[in-house]
Structure 1
Amino acid sequence: MRVLNESERPPPATLQPAGHESVEVRVNALHRLHYNQLAIHLLTTQSDNVHTTISELFTVILSECCEVEEEEEVQLTVSECVSGECREVEEEEEEVLNEIHLNIESELFIVQLVTELGRAFLADTDANTQTCASYAMLEVTRLYGIRESGSGEATPIGSQAWEKLSYHLQEMIYPLLTSKYTLSTGNNRSSVTLPSPIFGSDKAKTFQQWLTSWECSLVDLLQGERASQVFSACKPILRRDTTTAIYLLPSILICMLCETSDHHHQITTQVLSVMNQLQEKDKDEAALSIISIEIKQLAVLDYLSKWSQKKRQAETQGKKGRAAFVPSTQLHQVMSFLEKIPADILAHTSYKSHAYSPALMHIEAYIKDNPLQVKEHLCFLQCIYVSLDEPDGVAGVVAVRQDEPTLDQQVIQYL
């Protein structure tokens, strides 16, 4: 990577190796990034505005941090990069790239799903995993009619999605259009009654077991024809590729919540079981597996919250007058589910998962709805402000506290 002038913009290809499917390519790209931090430093300091390249590089590094199945060499190289000049980029400067899909019929969702399945195919050298990814791509392309425009089996949305796919993905799909895969008895597993909650049982001893067990159980409960067909085709690969499972979980959960409220209690129980377990442990003693599970749960809940906001905007757009807003059945059911997760528990869980900004947001929302309980949460607020390195917030808590602070609270005040 060479030192760039402020007006220069590197081509997108220079950022692609760090996110390549091959471990060797990613390691090589990350090493180049680590050993050329002078160029990165200049890009972060030569202007008041953060260079777009820095934002993109920072996003690539964060995405590598989220890969729970990364090779140790990749993890070490990523940690070297994170500890370097990239720490100068503020979280607020990062571009939000994750799209919120209102339904699984959108062109963007279809394109991203096929792209993710293609990544899963290329990322693993195991023949069985590649077969599972190929089967999922075959079924998804068939269900959505993803073909070239003018093809007999193409659908309007499918031909549009085909045009948005990269050339190498189209080359991967071509042989599948004339292929046929069938699931063996071992892969086409019958529904198994899982304990409720799954967390803490023999089916969820690790993050990967918890994720796939819960996700497959959700797929088995889907009633919508399209959602059931699409995600059932993906079950074999999500059992083998954790990254694919993480990508699919929010969409599966949205479909489940929108279909019916019959399973809301079961899903709420699954979510709260992890939160309650984390509450019982000290912040420094919580097992890494529990924190990993809770971080993913918090990300999914954040996705649901953003989905409901986007859905509400879509439903109110173009409407005139001051009539009271009446949400659709789908929106109402998602909002109803989110309301069942107590904000104070969300705040404490976020704090123990080291997500301090969301913790502050949730506890402020809780205090706003329960103003008489503000006194009980002042110490917790103070801890959050200390973790956020916000001395003004700490001073504000001290100013409104009426009782004599304990020794621990005085220590926190002067940290």
Structure 2
Amino acid sequence: MHLYRKMKEVISFLQDELIVVKKSKQLISTQLSQKDSQLKKIELENKRLLEQCSLLMNQNKNLSHSYKEKIIKQEADISRLTILADYHSSRNQDLEYKKRKYLLIIIGEALVLTKKLLIMGNQKIRRVKIIHQIKTLLAEYESCFYKDNFQLDKDAKRILEEVDNYLNKWKNYYEGYIWNAKPVENRDINYIESILKELHYLSLYKRFEKYKERVVEVEVLFQILKDKRKIQRNYSFKKFCNEINFMDKHKHINFESFVISRVFPGKTYTFLKSFSNVHYDFKLLKTYGMYHLLYVYGSYKNNTFKVGVTKKNLNSRYLKAKEVYEKKFLSGDFQEITLIESFNALNLESYLKRKFKEYRHPLFNSTEWFLLQKPEVDYFINNEYQKDTEFMKILGYSLNK
């Protein structure tokens, strides 16, 4: 009886365990079914995504090909338009587009360096170097016009002169000078930026005029003048350059039709025709236009004469010479002997001083007063000087031929 009860309990326990196992199996089966369903959904989603990716890749491939074709077409259009712009520019004798682009690059670099000046603290020496770099860049901007026979536009020249004015003031300040000097300030940089933007605009769009005469660098001019035997074969190029620079800097010489006046120092550009039409003689050129009148005052009675030059103050020169004369002589017969107009008056005076060197007046401690007898006086009053080849060569020399 006890054994039977024991077995019944075991069987009941096993039955319960079996039920639990069945329920667990059923639960696992349900979970597996759910997971399988989820996996199928994921697979379907992945398949859908793969199809979308494939579609997008095909679209992207098509778009890339399309964009590539558009880019190629745009590049071809740009190239065609550039050629047309250059053709139009050359046909209308205007500056080519590619050269305008180079001008814009120069302006951009100059602006970057200008802004850099504002953030350099106390670096005075480095600032001066940057200012020099800006000047060099803008000198190249100028040269881009001259080397292709174009005039520097008046608005561009005005802007360059304004920029140069600021650069000179900054340079003076950081080199320790007080006169015409000021430090770099934010408002100045802003103003420079605004006028450089204006320069950018007109460099890109404005039409530029060409010089009517051929413009050449001084090196080319030197060689052409040598080939044409306008200057001697053994003439030094360095000497020639120094002479051209000297004449360009001296404003009494009307040299604008010979050498282009620059805003920023750079290569020297000259007008070939102007130099071809004159005999190059630096001795005559260097003082050309300094004085316009050669005068001879004096007294026939005392054989005393003064040779001199003036630009326009003829009356004051006469009164001063008369005053000096009357300190030596009591007679009041001092008068005008002859007057010759010439832009080479100073060279004429120098020639006469050499010619009559032996006749210098002993009462005057001067190279301008002479003691002349009738044969020498006739040189002036009877136009005998017209028979003097050397005198007439100087008198006849002109830059306006």
Q: TM-score range by the shorter chain?
A: under 0.3
Under a length normalisation based on structure 2, what TM-score does the superposition of the two structures give? Answer: 0.22
Report the TM-score when normalising by structure 1. 0.22
